[in-house]
Structure 1
């Protein structure tokens, strides 16, 4: 840590030592020469920006060596200019259609990203994908944004196929995802077994191809009062591409360097990706942009770490085949209106390892598998979405009405397995059933900017109506039934859903919001938001937010927020249930995850699920002492009450509730409940320096997140009082605290000279401690801090041809090994943020026409 702090000061001293480059100055006017007060000026593909003052003047210290400035104002055409264009006033032309600038965290269309009072990261996907080896959105963000965390899972059933992802160490379902500013539907999967985010749902970011994305905005601040449920930790807004008249084709391939395998194979986990993007202009200002993407990821296997402690013969990444088609478009409707349509379809086939059944296992049938077997859990996931809407100018008001529909279906199959109760006649593959979730959102928003009120006043208000449907469908009978008393039922590895598990559920909610921002002076602004929502299944909630920003100078700005938030329990959390029938003493006994409101949960006094609530606070500053250096520091505090978790299993031999379970013919039961309250404290630091070096320019970025989660309370029901150790046991507590490492530090050097560029990146993952199956605090699974090193070389042979060669984790660093008998996953490592596949070597080819 001392070395990291020293590096901070060295970077600052180096930046200050360089002579300042000239500050860009300009003036923005309308067609008649009148100043455009509050016009937004942003440096393209950066967080850098400002607004025009009462005389239309602005000044900006660029970050880029060759900056392009994007100037926008509501009702006027967005334009791009270079420094050479600033020698005379920039005249803006009224638009025939509304040109809306989406700025996450603000409903003022005249505010740049850097002008908001909350911290926002803007990630240029083209820049990231061309210089790094990650191929999917989760992994791109894992290494690009320090507050973002995503773990690949193995041996955790459905979660092997959808990576849980979160901000600031909170739950996967406590981050709201938007596409083009519209709410994205969640996955139908609720994380259950052997996984981070257990008991949580989340959004499947990998269903959206990186090739379709122009940029990703990450609001690192609670925003439920602005955007509604799920935004406790923050908001991720994915902006789709709008480019036209360019065919962009990419071919990517890579493999992992294997260190632990049964055989002598040196490489595995082949990844390859092909994608293409093309857009066409429609009329003067409309467009249609299409993206096709195909991604293949093969198994890795890291089971052979210690032959004397072998719990699984196959342990590693699942095989995934992911195909997507995405559309983004807009069309002119009259003089001041536009129609937009975007969305896409994603189809994913997965193939994940389940735990090994060795030859002498009671669940094995030697006549079928003389050497035992390794079940494979297969999934077919279909994800579809479409959004349509109209933006218009109604007088001086910006008007936006839209309808967004999304659906996610998860269908399980199991192969290389058997139903033990069927003996040697058992099939070896089964249809195990599954679940699906759909969501339809109708949204109406209006906003108006009063440029003559003080230094600018923005008022926005609107309403939203959302409908959700969820269902579970059963698998074939042989996937769940036992045909012989006393013999385990169903398909090994993943027993199917039973007809008794089937359910159809729906709900609706309606919300209304009011949002205002006022610039009292050029230096000081405040914002306030209020949102009320009412859900048909648990009632209403009211949340608010206050924010402020003070520009002490062009080089220094203070910012802070206070807010309350909420997250509604998802339909899968309320309604998910699964049943396994075991035979005890020759009698069938149910082992189940009981849905909220079922006979079991009612008998045990488990209350109906309600919303999680939060209190958020953030305070930070930004500093730009010269044109090449920037520093942002933001501290945050998030207190969450009534977090929803999945409890441990309560058995029918329990001294207090055993008789209740026996009376219901239930052997073991667990359930979802609002059981835990937590406090998360953290600090985000992002430092960037860019200077000329040897005929090119070097960009140095240090981005760090420091994070600590504490568990404040575990609340049981009256009948389960005193049973906190089962309700939310020590292992679960450690899993929750390790949702993010206590620190993640990313140091990147990006050097570019003419057609050549190279990137060196060091990512340090802090210590992670997990309680293992021994429940021995002296022998926890300890993962000490590790640094992974990435290196890439990029050369642009011509405008139409580029090539990248590189490696992630080039020194083949692995987490500390643990005992496979005691880890959650049954391998030598639990799912930790740095991964356990080792080095990844890749090549990328880009073609443009």
Structure 2
């Protein structure tokens, strides 16, 4: 499938190619045993956008100028060049290259002789050049939302920090149950823990939007449990981001867009530069990016009763840079480095404080106000290492460091307890996370054992650090006798007693073997042991297999155990904040599990989540150009970590403690529930060539169903299950993904022109509102279009629209929704139609 998608991207982008003096080049590609090789990419040297790929009998055919140099490329084989001639039919033989230092590796397999179509588990490979050419999405979360049906992400509103980092899920599981890698190395998570919003409540996650899309060559999504291979967080799967290595030329892309309501204006500029380092194959690839996203407002209509006058996307300005480099020291040794920096300034409105609100100071805001929550997010990482070959072993010694920090401010606000003398802006504090991973990995392929045998071993040592820093005194202090609200309205600052600076270590070892028992049957086995300094050790395993009935049909499946360690944020996050239930503000605390308040209530300390994964599917290629993959999955997770409901001041066990703290309610992180998730992923694609026309259709869908088990409480909490994790919170968890999502697209290219039409169907979603009634969001279909014209080989222009028919979720009562508006953050979001244009240059 990797080679299929790569070749598809080549075909779709070939509109920039000039067809003067063309001949038809055709032939067959085979391996050194004479067997046909499907999915081999063949392209013009120096112009990767012009080419094709071999079918399942190894044949290819496409048009090119006579005398041009062509390159044939396949994973696990040495590249071969040849000249375009009018020969009747070419015969190209590729030689295996199992020991190549720069062999392409695909997430989910450490074998150097395995292509994505030969893996025993489901893997999507998304070529960014293809996808970004036909979409107006500025950030990665929203892009993946529309190209990977099992991936879901929605922008939140009125959810504090979650307004600035989109919680994303894979197969409806938690944002923190998907592991993110960059070039195969573990990516650090965000320091944000979601406590509001409709998705990912109680979870941490990874900020994918901190990585410039212009720096990315492809995204690999492993849709299968992989804790035994890659460690914690890989219960739902793995997203591996592979960055660019091109070493010549400059590409510049500019774009802008706006919604049909005239707000949410966007602007994007990115530059990618590649250069050679030395004369022995060294490379340097640099990327710079600026993005702007304006606010949107979909608040209830004027005159309608509401709790908010500003409901919509936050403002965001983002500046990013990324570097990828490698320098050979010898024929068998290379040093490499990659990393990036991102700074994002975000502004979002909290709930409205009206003129007569107790949380207003009329002398300052006679007409009321909307507190403006400001986040300044700093995210950076650097990864350095050395690769070498020694007696057939491929060695990789690496160290990767990553950091994510949030600094909060609030303006257009007030500390009510200070009266008319209150400032209107405050520094509210910060939280931060860092991660350092040192790893040594080794793998070797043996072609003399069975039909091929690959063994990989490795070890990792990780240090995680998490901290909270206090804001200025006036951002959190109550200067009255308790009769007035204290702290900054909208986002009370972190207090000195909230401050933490904690760390933990983790040591891991793994063994991963793959064997081709016969030419048609392969098996893979992985086992991984990890030990955490704060809660102990875990051992997990995985068995996967694939059987090829024929070149057109293969079956694949796996079973594995998995785990996820509670994040340091879930263990140690604590704060006082203002929540709104049906428009009524209430001051709450989130208390850590080792606090006296948690012990008083009988909240147990956090432990790891444990999982069992199983998948079974098949790949089918019945005719040339047509492919079908179907994969069913089952994921059972015990002891999932969630954020409890609110225990209030009238609770007989903790009421007195809460009153003494001056707050009305308390929440905790806890291993509250077991879940079972079942589903099916389906991907169908068909490509057809008619003269110079290329038509590609694809249908990708996900069916997902989650079941919840009994609520786990301590003896002291018996009878309080409805508070501990009640029906409303359960429905938020069940709505982490629509029950089904489909994308159907048709792409057509002819010479310099290409078009795309895509239909997106989101199934119904149900949530419980503050009135304890069900908000039903009916199924919706949105339509996206894009037209791209290549003026020359180096200049192209795109005009397009997303959700062009202005489809919105089902309207609800704004006095009862989580967002305080007509809609919650479900399905396609609630901004309506968005139109854009982009211009690209390549030098």
| TM-score, normalization by structure 2 | 0.91
Deviation per residue, 1:600-655 (Å, 9 max, x gap): 11222222211101000000000001221000000000001100001111123224
Deviation per residue, 1:642-677 (Å, 9 max, x gap): 000011111232244445656888753211011111
| Corresponding residue for residue 278 of structure 1 | 273
> Which of the residues 129, 132, 144 maps onto 2:132?
129
| Corresponding residue for residue 737 of structure 2 | 740
Deviation per residue, 1:168-206 (Å, 9 max, x gap): 000000000000000000000000123410000000000
CA apart distance, 1:842 = 0.3
| Corresponding residue for residue 638 of structure 1 | 635
| Corresponding residue for residue 575 of structure 1 | 572
| TM-score, normalization by structure 1 | 0.90
Matched, 1:822 2:819: no
Q: C-alpha distance in 2, partners of 1:667/1:749?
A: 55
The answer to whether the 8 Å contact 2:28/2:92 transfers is no
Matched, 1:251 2:254: yes
Q: C-alpha distance in 2, partners of 1:96/1:121?
A: 25
> Which of the residues 101, 109, 114 maps onto 1:111?
114
Q: C-alpha distance in 1, partners of 2:96/2:117?
A: 24
> Which of the residues 714, 718, 722 maps onto 1:717?
714
Matched, 1:221 2:224: yes
Does the residue aligned with 2:242 lie in a helix, a strand or coil? strand
Matched, 1:773 2:767: no
| Corresponding residue for residue 261 of structure 1 | none
The aligned runs of 1:826-837 (5 Å cut-off) are 826-837=820-831
The aligned runs of 1:184-195 (5 Å cut-off) are 184-195=187-198
The answer to whether the 8 Å contact 2:28/2:54 transfers is no
The answer to whether the 8 Å contact 1:353/1:376 transfers is yes
| Corresponding residue for residue 60 of structure 1 | 58
Q: C-alpha distance in 2, partners of 1:232/1:95?
A: 30
Q: C-alpha distance in 2, partners of 1:89/1:241?
A: 28
The aligned runs of 1:194-343 (5 Å cut-off) are 194-258=197-261, 267-282=262-277, 283-305=279-301, 307-343=303-339
Q: C-alpha distance in 1, partners of 2:598/2:112?
A: 48
Mind listing any 5+ residue stretches in structure 2 that lack a counterpart? 1-23, 43-47, 65-69, 580-585
Matched, 1:456 2:452: yes
The answer to whether the 8 Å contact 1:49/1:114 transfers is no
Does the residue aligned with 2:359 lie in a helix, a strand or coil? coil
CA apart distance, 1:695 = 3.8
Deviation per residue, 1:308-360 (Å, 9 max, x gap): 23221111000000110000111101220111100100000000111011111
| Corresponding residue for residue 544 of structure 2 | 547
CA apart distance, 1:363 = 1.0
Matched, 1:798 2:792: yes
Matched, 1:628 2:625: yes
Q: C-alpha distance in 2, partners of 1:808/1:751?
A: 18
Q: C-alpha distance in 2, partners of 1:244/1:169?
A: 39
Q: C-alpha distance in 2, partners of 1:667/1:358?
A: 21
The aligned runs of 1:392-541 (5 Å cut-off) are 392-485=388-481, 486-541=483-538
CA apart distance, 1:50 = 10
| Change beyond 3 A, Cα 1:40–1:554 | closer
Q: C-alpha distance in 2, partners of 1:600/1:670?
A: 10
| Corresponding residue for residue 380 of structure 1 | 376
The total of aligned residue pairs comes to 798
CA apart distance, 1:509 = 0.4
CA apart distance, 1:90 = 3.5
The answer to whether the 8 Å contact 2:36/2:58 transfers is no
Q: C-alpha distance in 2, partners of 1:832/1:144?
A: 17
The answer to whether the 8 Å contact 1:65/1:697 transfers is no
Q: C-alpha distance in 1, partners of 2:83/2:553?
A: 25
CA apart distance, 1:806 = 0.7
| Corresponding residue for residue 691 of structure 1 | 688
Q: C-alpha distance in 2, partners of 1:730/1:332?
A: 58
Mind listing any 5+ residue stretches in structure 1 that lack a counterpart? 1-20, 30-34, 52-57, 259-266, 583-588
CA apart distance, 1:307 = 3.0
Q: Which stretch shifts more, 739-748 or 605-614?
A: 605-614
Does the residue aligned with 1:553 lie in a helix, a strand or coil? coil
Does the residue aligned with 2:117 lie in a helix, a strand or coil? helix
The answer to whether the 8 Å contact 2:228/2:541 transfers is yes
> Which of the residues 785, 788, 794 maps onto 2:779?
785
CA apart distance, 1:227 = 0.3
Q: C-alpha distance in 1, partners of 2:405/2:58?
A: 48
The answer to whether the 8 Å contact 2:193/2:203 transfers is yes
Q: C-alpha distance in 2, partners of 1:63/1:671?
A: 62
> Which of the residues 603, 610, 614 maps onto 1:613?
610
Does the residue aligned with 2:668 lie in a helix, a strand or coil? strand
The answer to whether the 8 Å contact 1:489/1:581 transfers is no
Does the residue aligned with 2:569 lie in a helix, a strand or coil? helix
Q: C-alpha distance in 2, partners of 1:742/1:665?
A: 42
Q: C-alpha distance in 1, partners of 2:674/2:709?
A: 5
The answer to whether the 8 Å contact 2:543/2:559 transfers is yes
